Amino acid sequence: MADNPAFTAQRMTVEDVAARAVRRNVEKLGPSASVDRFLSGYGNVRTKAAYTERLVAYLSWLKSEKGVAMSPDELILDNLRCISTSDPTDVLTKRRKHRQESLFW
């Protein structure tokens, strides 16, 4: 048994598993300054793993159900443009087509 690598290999800790999940999820999201900044606010790797998993699920749902295939950075820029560059009474710009569809479903 001592020669079996399964018995001599170091066991993975919960933090190791979570760190692997974070790397996998960040890879799925692609390069994103906004995701990096968001995750930098959390020290616990298990919290980062949970949040990145939910973010991947949300973006997948957004793409499959609503037809919105934007990256996290593009979503934030779109939101900022809609809020800051439109008139206060310009509701159609603030609620673009992909947002309007979600209101009526």
Q: What is the pLDDT of residue 8?
A: 53
Rounded to whole angstroms, what are the CA distances from 92 to 52, 69, 71, 77, 98? 31, 20, 22, 17, 11
Which one-letter DSSP state was computed for residue 95? T
- In this prediction, residue 88 carries a pLDDT of 73
DSSP letters, 2-57, are TT-HHHHSPPPPHHHHHHHHHHHHHHHH-S-HHHHHHHHT---HHHHHHHHHHHHH
pLDDT tens per residue across span 48-104: 999 999 999 999 999 999 898 999 999 999 888 877 777 777 777 666 655 444 444
